[in-house]
Structure 1
Amino acid sequence: MAKKATTVKTATGKKLQVVNPNAAGIDIAASEMQVCVPDDRDSDCNRCFGCFTQDLKSIVQWLKKCRIETVAMESTGIYWLPLYFILEENGFDVILVNARDVKNLSGRKTDEADAEWLMLLHSYGLLKCSFQPENEARAIRNLNRHRSNLLQSSSREALHMQKAMEQMNLKLGNVISDLLGKSGMAIIEAIINGNHNPTELAMLAEENCKATKEIIAQSLEGTWAEDQLFELKQAYDLYRFIQGQIRQCDRQIEMHLTRYRVYLESSSDVGFTRCKKRIGKKNAPDFDVERYAFDIWKVNIMVIPGMSAISLKRNKTTLGYYFRRIQSSHSCHSA
Structure 2
Amino acid sequence: MTADNKKMWRNRKERKAWARRLQSEDPGLEVVHPQAAGIDVGNGAHYVAVRPDRDRQPVRRFECFTADLHRLADWLQSCGVKTVAMQSTGVYWIPLYEILEERGFEVYLVNARHTKNLPGRKSDVQESQWLLKLHTYGLLNNSFQPPVEIRMLRTYWRQRGEHVRGAATCIQRMQKALTQMNVQLANVISDLSGLTGQAIVRAILVGERDPWRLAQLSDARIQASRREIAKSLEGNWRPELLFVLGQEVEMYDTYQRRVAECDQQLRDHLASFAENLSPRPSEGEPKRKKANAAKNAPRFDLGSELQRITGVDLTRIDGIDVMVAQTILSEVGLDM
Shorter-chain TM-score range: 0.7 to 0.9
Q: Secondary structure at the match of 1:279?
A: coil
Q: Which residue, out of 120, 127, 145, partners 2:140?
A: 127
Return 5+ residue gaps in structure 2 as ranges: 6-26
Alpha-carbon distance in 1 for matches of 2:4, 2:239: 74
Q: Does 1:70 align with 2:80?
A: no
Alpha-carbon distance in 2 for matches of 1:114, 1:101: 13
Alpha-carbon distance in 2 for matches of 1:120, 1:101: 13
2:280–2:312 CA contact under 8 A, matched in 1: no
Give the Å deviation of 1:299: 2.4
AA aligned opposite 1:67 = G
Alpha-carbon distance in 2 for matches of 1:310, 1:191: 33
**Percent of aligned positions that are identical:** 42
1:24–1:71 CA contact under 8 A, matched in 2: yes
Alpha-carbon distance in 1 for matches of 2:139, 2:292: 45
Q: Name 2:228's counterpart in structure 1.
A: 215
* 1:231-287, Cα deviation, whole Å (9 max, x unpaired): 11111111112112112111211221121x22xx42689548764242343112223
Alpha-carbon distance in 1 for matches of 2:328, 2:69: 33
Give the Å deviation of 1:192: 0.8
Alpha-carbon distance in 2 for matches of 1:17, 1:106: 25
* The 10-residue stretch of structure 1 (109-118 or 28-37) with the greater mean CA deviation from structure 2: 109-118
AA aligned opposite 1:308 = D
TM-score by length of structure 1 reads 0.86
2:47–2:60 CA contact under 8 A, matched in 1: yes
Q: Which residue, out of 170, 187, 193, partners 1:180?
A: 193
Equivalent positions of 1:198-209 (< 5 A) are 198-209=211-222
Alpha-carbon distance in 2 for matches of 1:79, 1:255: 28
Q: Which residue, out of 262, 265, 270, partners 1:252?
A: 265
Q: Using a 3 Å threshold, how does the CA distance of structure 1 residues 269 and 220 change in structure 2: closer, same or farther?
A: farther
Give the Å deviation of 1:118: 1.3
* 1:158-208, Cα deviation, whole Å (9 max, x unpaired): 011111111211111111122211111111111111111111111111122
Q: Name 2:38's counterpart in structure 1.
A: 25
Question: What is the aligned-residue RMSD (CA, Å)?
Answer: 2.2
Q: Which residue, out of 203, 211, 225, partners 1:190?
A: 203
Return 5+ residue gaps in structure 1 as ranges: 8-13, 324-335
Q: Name 2:318's counterpart in structure 1.
A: 305
Alpha-carbon distance in 2 for matches of 1:230, 1:250: 31
Q: Secondary structure at the match of 1:322?
A: coil
Aligned residue-pair number: 311
Q: Which residue, out of 294, 305, 308, partners 2:307?
A: 294
1:31–1:50 CA contact under 8 A, matched in 2: yes
Equivalent positions of 1:261-272 (< 5 A) are 261-262=273-274, 265-266=275-276, 271=281
Q: Name 2:107's counterpart in structure 1.
A: 94
Alpha-carbon distance in 2 for matches of 1:89, 1:79: 17
Q: Name 2:252's counterpart in structure 1.
A: 239
Q: Secondary structure at the match of 1:16?
A: coil
